[in-house]
Structure 1
Amino acid sequence: MDRVLSLEAARLTLAGNAGPVEILKGITLSVTRGESLGLVGPSGSGKSSLLMLMGGLERATSGRVEALGQDLTAMGEDALARFRRANMGIVFQSFHLIPTMTALENVAIPLELAGMPDAMARAREELEAMGLGARLGHYPAEMSGGEQQRVALARAAAPRPAIFLADEPTGNLDSQTGAAIMELLFGLRDRHGATLVLVTHAPELAERCDRIVRLADGAIVPETEVGAKVEVRA
């Protein structure tokens, strides 16, 4: 099977007030094309940091991180930004929308920066797919949290990325709205045939993934310690 994401002995050490802090301790992991992977574990276990390595938003202190066959650890910041823009859709717990831009403009701007001539049309299409056809001209402050997260999902999906990375995308939402957002996120994965890596504290969300990886204290917990791999999709 095609490996879309691959980490080999990846470590992440960050500076702390009392000296260096080892956040990730030699992570080796592969994710295949079209797979959905849930990253779970207690707060501080390294889930979000691992997602940041996969997206090239943090640089591994040692080891190797590859995405779509490209070595992210060897890229400069500009090259990483271009690679993410072309290949990755990233969704965070916070929506990171530009407050002075409408929903349509928020989704269109990364497409325009990438030089796509149909930026506005594609942005409109994704927002309508999210059920926001009537909200194209609204600003973030005029929308609910669930609507803002839908805009963020549309922005991530508009470039048709091969990889979706989601870090607690329902963490700021009530349970009903969060469930609707997760339906949309998995729908995007299915619609675009993308690979999905999801960080979550919610077991019911993780169990929708093809595979669950558990982290503790910056390392992957062996399956022999947590039970068999969870497979919930045919």
Structure 2
Amino acid sequence: MTSRAETEENQNGVSPMIDLRDVHLTLGSLAGEVNILRGIDLSVGRGETVSVVGPSGSGKTSMLMIVAGLEQATSGSVRIGDQDFRGLSEDGLAEFRRDNLGIVFQSFHLVPTMTAVENVAIPLELAGRRDAYERAAEVLEQVGLSHRLSHYPGQLSGGEQQRVALARAFIGSPKLILADEPTGNLDADTGQQIIDLMFNLARDHKTTLMLITHDADLAQACDRTVEMRDGRLVKDAALKAAE
């Protein structure tokens, strides 16, 4: 079975943005070893939007953590863009994330003692950019929060906090955005606004987007949906449609 991303590589000589080959993740517990991921093969093309669905405990977040370099696969190959994760140190992985990835969480993960503009500026500050705050203000304006620059997370609604989180994720023009239940803590109307904003930002920045969701509307908004069960990929809507 040849994926869309593999076809892209064969025809254009361009590697996929995400390339997982026979990825396993086994973790220890008091009851013994637990097989979290059981041989994941997945390719995602550059600029593609992919939703990952499946029941709780199926391995979705673990796979996302491996793609982000926040969890190390027990075995298999993990390649993100042109970078093979094998052999990278923790510092090397952190630098790669800083320069290439943006991550959006369900619970926002904003620093409560920092203002909106300070939260958004963090990635550029870590990269040593002198224009971090100026750029943060510009991106907050893009997400409709130019009037909230000096507000702290506790002074913002859930939707506003997620907009700040999106601005922080996109500020460095990352090649890949990973989102874990980005609308999970929001009401339906606010969630739809975040969906529209996230996809508009991804399009404008030409960013690959992979997201975990239980939201059917969000899943259907993607180019492609893959389903996980018991640590395996069991369905790929795009592949099924192409066969």
TM-score class normalised by the smaller sequence: over 0.9
**CA root-mean-square deviation:** 1.5
Task: Find the counterpart in structure 2 of residue 169 from structure 1.
Answer: 182
Give secondary structure in 2 for the equivalent of 1:74: coil
2:26 paired with 1:13: yes
Aligned match for 1:219, one of 213, 229, 232:
232
Note the C-alpha offset of 1:19: 1.0
Note the C-alpha offset of 1:222: 4.2
Task: Find the counterpart in structure 1 of residue 200 from structure 2.
Answer: 187
* Deviation digits for residues 50-108 of structure 1 (CA, Å, limit 9, x no counterpart): 11111111110000100112111321111101100100010011111111110000011
2:153 paired with 1:133: no
Task: Find the counterpart in structure 2 of residue 104 from structure 1.
Answer: 117
- State, as a whole percentage, how many aligned pairs show the same letter: 57
Give secondary structure in 2 for the equivalent of 1:73: coil
Alpha-carbon distance in 1 for matches of 2:240, 2:164: 33
* Deviation digits for residues 164-220 of structure 1 (CA, Å, limit 9, x no counterpart): 100100101111111111111101110100100011011211111111111000001
Task: Find the counterpart in structure 2 of residue 158 from structure 1.
Answer: 171
**8 Å contact from structure 2 (residues 228, 235) kept in 1:** no
Aligned match for 2:43, one of 27, 30, 54:
30
Alpha-carbon distance in 2 for matches of 1:170, 1:230: 27
2:101 paired with 1:88: yes
| Residues 36 and 118 of structure 1: CA distance in aligned 2, closer, same or farther (over 3 Å) | same
2:158 paired with 1:145: yes
Note the C-alpha offset of 1:150: 0.5
Greater CA drift, 11-20 or 210-219? 11-20
* Deviation digits for residues 20-51 of structure 1 (CA, Å, limit 9, x no counterpart): 11100010110111000110111111111111
Report the TM-score when normalising by structure 1: 0.94
Amino acid at match of 1:40: V
Report the TM-score when normalising by structure 2: 0.91
| Residues 88 and 227 of structure 1: CA distance in aligned 2, closer, same or farther (over 3 Å) | closer
Aligned match for 1:205, one of 213, 218, 231:
218
Alpha-carbon distance in 2 for matches of 1:23, 1:113: 33
**8 Å contact from structure 1 (residues 103, 139) kept in 2:** yes
**8 Å contact from structure 1 (residues 6, 65) kept in 2:** yes
Greater CA drift, 156-165 or 106-115? 106-115
Alpha-carbon distance in 2 for matches of 1:68, 1:222: 23
Give secondary structure in 1 for the equivalent of 2:17: strand
* Structure 1 unpaired stretches of 5+: none
| Residues 222 and 99 of structure 1: CA distance in aligned 2, closer, same or farther (over 3 Å) | closer
